[in-house]
Amino acid sequence: MSGPMDRLTALDQVEKDILSCLQCAGQVLNELSKDKPSAKAADTHTNNFLKTLNNVEVEMTKHVNYLTQVSTGQAHEGSSYASQKVLQMAWHRSEHARSKVLELERNKNQMLAATRQLTAAQQKAPVSAGPSTPTSTGMTSHGGPPT
């Protein structure tokens, strides 16, 4: 089984085999419900049922094994699951990094706006020319000795 169409064809055959199993089981029950059942006919139908059921089991096991490989990410022919998973994770990481960069950009813009407002407020504030007050160096704020 290599391609998807081959798998679908095989599954279609499994479905037909299941119907055949049901028909064989019905024929066995029909034979056994007769007043004088034929052991040979019942055995033939039973053997057909068991043979077809075995084919169904073998084919379904193959499909389950394939699906197990696909779901665990093991490399297998014809599957792109692992590549799709890697791509999806890369997109996720990319979107996460993008959102963090946008968040940092917003924070930067907020800080710049706050800095501009503070600078503008400081420039607009009048410089006090009131009485001189001594500083810890003994000089007044205008640079002369205290009076």
What residue ranges do the domains of the chain occupy?
Answer: 4-78, 80-121
Q: Which CATH class is domain 4-78?
A: mainly alpha
DSSP letter string over 62-122?
HHHHHHHHHHHT---TT--HHHHHHHHHHHHHHHHHHHHHHHHHHHHHHHHHHHHHHHHHH
Q: Distance of CA 63 to CAs 47, 69, 86, 102, 112, Å?
A: 25, 10, 24, 46, 61
Q: What is the pLDDT along the chain (147 residues), one digit of tens a residue?
A: 467 788 889 999 999 999 999 999 999 999 889 989 898 999 999 999 999 999 999 999 998 888 887 776 665 566 677 778 888 999 999 999 999 999 999 999 999 999 999 998 888 876 655 555 555 555 555 555 555
Exposure on the CB side of residue 133, measured as CA atoms within 13 A: 5
